[in-house]
Chain A
């Protein structure tokens, strides 16, 4: 019975191919738009999330300043009000997973006849852990390098490419930073761009003490530009922020109500809001694409109504030879569902193909999840049921005598 009806629905679809195709087209466009938009949206979301995890999770940065010079406050990070002892004190707090004091500057580096200007980060070995930054070759410096301020360096991929080229292995070579020779211990993993487009691989990491004493020697001894702090987990972020503020205010003798000479910033919150934006975008794209699905559904309803009118006599014949109302209902409903499902399958094909092409031509990240395909499919099938039901019911409610007389 059911298989016979499926066969008949298939026949009916083939009876007027152009019309079936045009009806389906609405569905095809709707579904492919949904699949494509979700692929692009989810891709964007994933690339934002990857940038976040590349930065490190549950991060605070404590910046020095803003300093007050004759009543005018200048930019944060300028005055070296933080030092290594502050960093060690923060490390003693509860809920802290890791602390890395950081000082930084720009320097000219030279190898042979090549030179390059890049960011130099002076920090402790825990910096790499906090930022979950691995090495692709060589090894990292250790705490003993910090103690003795050795001239060693970890080199980023962009720097290596610019001063060594592709052929030379940088590990073990000696470069000069601000005229001083440094031995390259290891090569940093590539981290790509930050959310704001800065190249994170265009950097060199040296021991904190080396940077303080031998590269940027004009600062107060032991002072650092910022302290990177990693919390144990997401839940303790706000508690930790409070206790850090309390601790540093106490250490810097800041009276209640006075301006602090440091500021604590929650990096994860910023990154999370970026991820939230990406997710909203992908939802929005999906919602816009769904409108075309709706339009496709209305197209199906329209054609089914025409089809019922055209086939009124056929419905009369079927009723006269024993079709029940629900047989007629089922027949037309099946036809509508079949049109939408076939249209949906074609749409999924086009959507996936289109997403792959977009990925190839724009280099943007594309994620085709089985979830989004499944959603598109079930929405399309329910649109077939929803928009097919009214015409099918109309057919089933026809009076057999009038239907038989219909010309």
Chain B
């Protein structure tokens, strides 16, 4: 029985791009340790599209930072694409952020001094790819997100929606398995938000796993699966109507 479960776990690890179990996170404050995440367990399948929801202070942003290898848990296991993040060297973690994960932020986080082309190509600088290829690949992606005519513009010369497209192109440049988006439509109007969400859906159809944090239910409706956080715990994990479960285990309410 015990053995069987282990085998099942191993299988699950291969199939899951994200496998989080028993995750705790505490912040040290003047008043003593303050728990933010309390025993979070979550598996996300390859090719899944998950919306993480919850009120402010529920721990969803902290959870996203841990998923993105920007922060480390106090306790617990996080296996990303088959590798235990906790045992990795700092340089390898940077490599994971560079190649396995693509980040999309609420505030776009583009470099204001650089052209759109250089912004999109920036991650490739850290994967040691030469300039000609960097620019060629960045150009292709800018065309894909509909900004092929603006490659030499600066971020402050284009609209917010366009800036978010540039950020998505940057996230895609290293062909990541996983895109992590933290309130990607938080700074956009509803029409532009729909355009961005359509772009995410298209990327998901192309096979990229997407995890996004949002507090708007209509945005979360675009995802296949919705996970709700409250007080540092997952309180609800449901499939969006019309989607079929691919992972029975994780659809249970924990």
Contact = CB atoms under 8 A, between A and B. Distances in A.
Interface of A: 1, 3-5, 11-12, 15, 313-314, 316-327, 400-401, 404
Contacts of A401: 65, 70-71
B217 to A, nearest CB: 26
B99 A322 contact: yes
Nearest to B62: A401
A323 B70 CA distance: 12
Nearest to A12: B113
Contact of B123 (A5, A316, A321): A321
Given A400-B70, A401-B70, A4 B131 contact: yes
Given A313-B109, A327-B126, A400-B70, A321 B98 contact: yes
Given A400-B70, A401-B65, A401-B70, A321 B97 contact: yes
12 contacts: A1-B125, A1-B128, A317-B111, A319-B97, A321-B122, A322-B94, A322-B98, A322-B126, A323-B94, A323-B98, A326-B91, A401-B71
Interface centre among B70, B95, B123 (most CB of A within 10 A): B70
A325 B170 contact: no
B247 interface: no
A12 B78 CA distance: 38
Nearest to B102: A321
A150 B59 CA distance: 116
A142 B196 CA distance: 107
Most B-side CB within 10 Å, residue of A316, A317, A401: A317
A3 B134 CA distance: 13
A88 to B, nearest CB: 84
Nearest to A14: B113
B103 interface: yes
B24 interface: no
Nearest to A407: B107
Nearest to A320: B103
A334 to B, nearest CB: 13
Given A320-B103, A321-B123, A322-B94, 16 more contacts: A1-B125, A1-B128, A4-B134, A317-B109, A319-B94, A320-B109, A322-B95, A322-B99, A324-B90, A325-B91, A325-B94, A327-B94, A327-B126, A400-B70, A401-B71, A404-B70
Contacts of B94: 319, 322-325, 327
Given A322-B97, A324-B94, A404 B126 contact: no
A323 B113 contact: no
Contacts of B98: 321-323
B105 interface: yes
A324 B109 contact: no
Contacts of B47: none
Interface string B75-110: 000000000000000110011011100010100011
A321 B103 contact: yes
Contacts of A325: 90-91, 94
B78 to A, nearest CB: 16
Interface of B: 65, 68, 70-71, 90-91, 94-95, 97-99, 103, 105, 109-111, 113-114, 122-123, 125-128, 131, 134, 170, 174
Contacts of B111: 314, 317
Contacts of A327: 94, 126
A314 B131 CA distance: 21
A11 B97 CA distance: 25
A348 to B, nearest CB: 30
Given A318-B122, A322-B98, A322-B123, A11 B68 contact: no
B122 to A, nearest CB: 6
Contacts of B99: 322
A15 B125 contact: no
A324 B103 contact: no
Contacts of A400: 70
A376 B125 CA distance: 34
Nearest to A5: B125
Interface centre among A12, A320, A401, by most B CB within 10 Å? A320
A325 to B, nearest CB: 6
A320 B95 CA distance: 10
A322 B97 CA distance: 5
Given A4-B131, A15-B113, A320 B68 contact: yes
A127 B178 CA distance: 95
A317 B174 CA distance: 16
Contacts of A320: 68, 70, 97, 103, 105, 109
Contacts of B97: 319-322
A5 B122 CA distance: 11
Contacts of A15: 113
Nearest to A314: B111
A324 B113 contact: no
A318 B99 CA distance: 13
Nearest to B97: A322
Contacts of B127: 322
Contacts of A324: 90-91, 94-95, 126
Contacts of B109: 313, 316-317, 320, 404
Contacts of B90: 324-325
**Of residues B105, B113, B134, which shows the largest number of chain A Cβ atoms within 10 Å of its Cβ?**
B113
B178 to A, nearest CB: 13
A313 B103 CA distance: 15
A321 B70 contact: no
